[in-house]
Amino acid sequence: MDKTKQFLAAGILFAGFWMTYHTTAESRAEDVKPIPTETVKNSVRQAMQRKLVLSKEILNGLVLQDYDSIEKAAAEMKKVSLQSPKQIEGDETENELYQHFRLEFLRINSLMEKMAQEKNLEGAAYAYQNLNANCLACHSYLHGKDE
Ligand code: HEC
C-alpha cells in the first residue's frame, strides 16, 4: 500500500467513526422525553394507579397463599412499568438514578414471579417488601428533585 492509499484509508476510517459518533449522539437526544413538570401525562397516572391496585392484589395473594394471583399481578406489574416514562427532566446523573429505580422495579417483579411459581411464600414476601421500598424510593427521589 502506498502513502496515498494509506492516507485515504485513514480518512475513510475517521469519517466512519465521526458519523457513527454523531448519529448515536443525535438518537440519544431524541430518546429523551422529559416528564412535563406541571401536567404529568395521564398515561403515567393511569399506569401508577394500576400499580397501586396490583400491589394490593399481591398482598392479597400473599395472605391467602394464592400463588397464581401473585404471579399474574407481578407479570402485569412488569408490563405496566414498561409503559412508564423512560426519562425524566434532568441531567444525566438524575436520569441514571431514575433508570436504576425502573430496572430495580423490573428485577423485583421478575423475582416475585419466580417465587410465586416456586410457591415460595417467604421469598415472595421478601420480594413484596423490596417492591414497596422501591415504590417509595423512586417517589421520594422524584419529590426531592422538586425542592
Ligand atoms: C421508577 C420510578 C417509579 C417507581 C418505581 C414507581 N413510581 Fe409511581 N410514580 C412515578 C412517577 C414519575 C409518577 C408521576 C409523577 C409524580 O407523582 O411525582 C408517579 C406517580 C404515582 C402515583 C400518583 C398517580 C396519580 O394519580 O397522580 C401513584 C398512586 C403511584 N405512583 C404509585 C406507585 C406504586 C404503588 C409503585 C410501586 C408498586 C410505584 N408508584 C412505583 C414513578 C415511579
Say whether pLDDT at 21 is over 70: no
CA–centroid distance, residue 49 to ligand 1 (Å): 8
How far, in Å, CA of 51 to CA of 44, rounded?
A: 10
Q: How confident is the model at residue 38 (pLDDT cuts 50, 70, 90)?
A: very low
**Closest C-alpha to ligand 1, atom 3:** 138
For position 78, what pLDDT does the model report? 95
- Quick: pLDDT tens for 115-124: 999 999 999 9
* Distant-in-sequence contacts of 117-122, Cβ < 8 A, 24+ apart: 117/67, 117/71, 119/67, 121/62, 121/65
Q: Which residue has the cell 407479570?
A: 75
Q: Is the CB of 48 under 6 A from ligand 1?
A: yes
CA–centroid distance, residue 41 to ligand 1 (Å): 12
For position 88, what pLDDT does the model report? 79
Q: Is the CB of 101 under 6 A from ligand 1?
A: yes
104 to each of 2, 42, 66, how far by Cα in Å? 55, 24, 24
- Quick: pLDDT tens for 45-88: 888 999 999 999 999 999 999 999 999 999 999 999 887 777 77
For position 32, what pLDDT does the model report? 56
For position 93, what pLDDT does the model report? 84
Q: How confident is the model at residue 129 (pLDDT cuts 50, 70, 90)?
A: very high
Q: Which residue has the cell 401525562?
A: 41
For position 27, what pLDDT does the model report? 47
How far, in Å, CA of 124 to CA of 130, rounded?
A: 10
Q: Which residue has the cell 416475585?
A: 112
Count of Cβ atoms closer than 10 Å to residue 109 Cβ: 25
For position 26, what pLDDT does the model report? 45
User: What is the overall mean pLDDT for the chain?
Assistant: 83
Say whether pLDDT at 39 is over 80: no
Q: How far is CA 129 from the centre of its chain?
A: 18
For position 83, what pLDDT does the model report? 75
Q: Is the CB of 102 under 6 A from ligand 1?
A: yes
Q: Is the CB of 138 under 6 A from ligand 1?
A: yes
For position 33, what pLDDT does the model report? 56
Average pLDDT rounded to a whole number, residues 133-142 = 93
Could you tell me which of 145, 48, 26 has the C-alpha nearest to residue 88?
145
With the most atoms of ligand 1 within 8 angstroms of its CB, the residue from 135, 136, 145 to mutate is 135
CA atoms within a 13 Å half-sphere pointing along the CA-CB vector of 142: 20
According to the CATH classification, is domain 34-146 in 1.20.120.290?
A: yes
